[in-house]
């Protein structure tokens, strides 16, 4: 592929930048990135300028922006002052190559976000809302003269993940590996960490914020950030607004392997009603999202299905979809929706199953669809 003169200059500048000391490197990389989209078209809405080469992608972001800003106000009661510049990159072109495996990146010093233009719509919305939230938090802290690093990185990322999840419910399973839960002070989030551990820590941080919101309300995040901006230590603000110490809060998310194994064995050794009650009691005692949740919901789905309780079986399968969204899950949900006479939902979930299937399962899924929905 033939490079333009500008692309060549930018690549050389970036190569030079990466050998500089960190403080200079960040500024130089940001400056190089800033030159990369001068030829893009842009649209401006409510303090956000979106640079694009695909007008449909820009429309997706501007359409979701009002809801994002409404929710931001609920969480923080703060509107950012600086114009946020959002660049949707073009695949295989600069600056898309800079993103590597990241969906997006935020440069606070320039109030600028770069998003991967090859993302699917829901991933693009997720990335946009995640980076938008970073901008609002940074702006809130800076507006009171506070250093954004006075809030730990895991909290920045956890809040951004929880916020983005409101607008695109991407599955959790890809970011849940060994589930190595550590105290928050030991939770490194930078790219020097093993990528599998890094993505998992994003999820643990996300689940942490979801529990805080469920227990204390959506404004708990803004209350903590405002206290820190006013001079409080993060640990003190956290304890003030959650009623728990930060040093032990991570224990809410430890995996309880032995307990799950015991509950699994009950399916074969105890009455169904007793097992269902025990599984629900365990689930009720957990945070809103937790490591073993998908296993618990699978067990409950299985038990309800055996009893012909289609409504509860469907409810458990829908909960599973927060964790796994392969074509098998969507097929189960579609079939259960038919059994509960929710025909429009059944068709919608069946379409999700067809889309989620890879080439290996495409023919099988098409036959399944014809059997269940076309009466063949």
Q: Domain with 328 in it: what CATH number? A: 1.25.40.10
Provide the pLDDT for residue 34: 63
Residue 19 three-state SS: coil
Provide the H-helix boundaries in the chain: 5-17, 22-35, 55-76, 96-99, 121-143, 153-165, 195-216, 220-229, 234-242, 246-249, 257-269, 272-284, 293-306, 310-320, 327-339, 343-356, 359-373
Q: Are residues 235 and 104 in the same domain?
A: yes
Q: Domain with 94 in it: what CATH number? A: 1.10.390
- Cα–Cα distance for residue pair 365/63, rounded to 1 Å: 33
Query: 50 - beta bridge partners?
Result: 43, 86
Chunked into runs of 10 residues, the chain (376 residues) has average pLDDT values of: 49 42 53 67 95 95 97 89 89 57 85 92 96 94 90 96 96 87 90 79 96 96 95 97 97 94 96 98 97 96 97 98 94 96 94 86 86 73
Question: How confident is the model over 80-114, as pLDDT tens digits?
Answer: 888 999 999 876 555 555 566 678 899 898 899 99
Q: Are residues 233 and 276 in the same domain?
A: no
Cα 72–chain centre separation: 16
Query: 113 - beta bridge partners?
Result: 86, 106
Q: Which of 252, 282, 301 corresponds to the end of one domain?
A: 252
Q: Are residues 23 and 131 in the same domain?
A: yes
Q: Are residues 160 and 274 in the same domain?
A: no
Q: Are residues 160 and 74 in the same domain?
A: yes
Q: Which of 252, 271, 286 corresponds to the end of one domain?
A: 252
- Expressed as residue numbers, the domain containing 92 is 5-252
CA 175, 178, 181, 184 torsion: positive or negative? negative
Q: What is the DSSP letter of 36?
A: T
Q: Which of 232, 252, 272 corresponds to the end of one domain?
A: 252
Domain count, the chain: 2
Q: Are residues 242 and 299 in the same domain?
A: no
184 and 156 in contact (C-beta within 8 Å)? no
User: At CB < 8 A and 24+ separation, what contacts does 241-245 make?
Assistant: 241/212, 241/216, 242/212, 242/215, 242/216
Cα 370–chain centre separation: 34
Cα dihedral 123/121/354/101 (nearest 10): -40
Q: Are residues 119 and 214 in the same domain?
A: yes
Q: Are residues 268 and 300 in the same domain?
A: yes
Question: How confident is the model over 56-82, as pLDDT tens digits?
Answer: 999 999 999 999 999 999 999 888 888
Q: Are residues 151 and 268 in the same domain?
A: no
Provide the pLDDT for residue 231: 94
197 backbone dihedrals φ, ψ, rounded to 5°: -70, -40
Q: Are residues 219 and 322 in the same domain?
A: no
Q: Are residues 219 and 265 in the same domain?
A: no
Residue 358 three-state SS: coil
Q: Are residues 68 and 192 in the same domain?
A: yes
């Amino acid at each position: 592929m033939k490079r333009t003169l500008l692309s060549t200059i930018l690549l050389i500048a970036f190569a030079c930048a990466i050998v500089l000391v960190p403080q200079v490197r960040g500024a130089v990389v940001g400056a190089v990135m800033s030159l990369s989209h001068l030829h893009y078209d842009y649209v401006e809405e409510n303090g956000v300028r979106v640079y694009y080469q695909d007008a449909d992608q820009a429309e997706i972001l501007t359409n979701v922006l009002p809801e994002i800003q409404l929710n931001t106000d609920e969480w923080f009661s703060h509107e950012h002052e600086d114009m946020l510049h959002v660049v949707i990159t073009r695949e295989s072109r600069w600056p898309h190559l800079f993103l590597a495996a990241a969906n997006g990146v935020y440069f606070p010093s320039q109030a600028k976000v770069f998003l991967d233009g090859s993302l699917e719509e829901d991933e693009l919305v997720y990335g946009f809302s995640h980076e938008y939230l970073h901008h609002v938090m940074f702006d809130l802290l800076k507006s009171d003269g506070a250093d954004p690093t006075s809030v730990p990185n895991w909290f920045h990322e956890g809040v951004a993940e929880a916020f983005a999840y409101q607008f695109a419910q991407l599955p959790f399973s890809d970011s849940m590996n060994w589930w190595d839960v550590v105290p928050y002070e030991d939770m490194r989030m930078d790219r020097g960490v093993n990528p599998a551990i890094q993505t998992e820590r994003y999820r643990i941080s996300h689940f942490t914020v979801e529990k805080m919101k469920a227990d204390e309300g959506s404004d708990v995040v803004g209350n903590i950030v405002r206290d820190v901006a006013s001079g409080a230590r993060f640990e003190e603000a956290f304890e003030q607004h959650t009623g728990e110490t930060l040093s032990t809060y991570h224990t809410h998310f430890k995996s309880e392997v032995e307990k799950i194994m015991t509950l699994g064995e009950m399916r074969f050794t105890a009455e169904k009603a007793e097992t269902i009650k025990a599984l629900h009691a365990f689930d009720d005692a957990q945070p809103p999202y937790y490591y073993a949740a998908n296993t618990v919901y699978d067990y409950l789905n299985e038990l309800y299905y055996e009893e012909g309780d289609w409504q509860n079986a469907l409810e458990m399968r829908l909960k599973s979809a927060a964790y796994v969204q392969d074509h098998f899950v969507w097929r189960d949900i579609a079939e259960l929706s038919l059994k509960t006479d929710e025909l429009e939902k059944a068709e919608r979930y069946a379409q999700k199953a067809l889309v989620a299937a890879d080439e290996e399962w495409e023919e099988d899924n098409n036959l399944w669809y014809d059997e269940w929905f076309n009466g063949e």
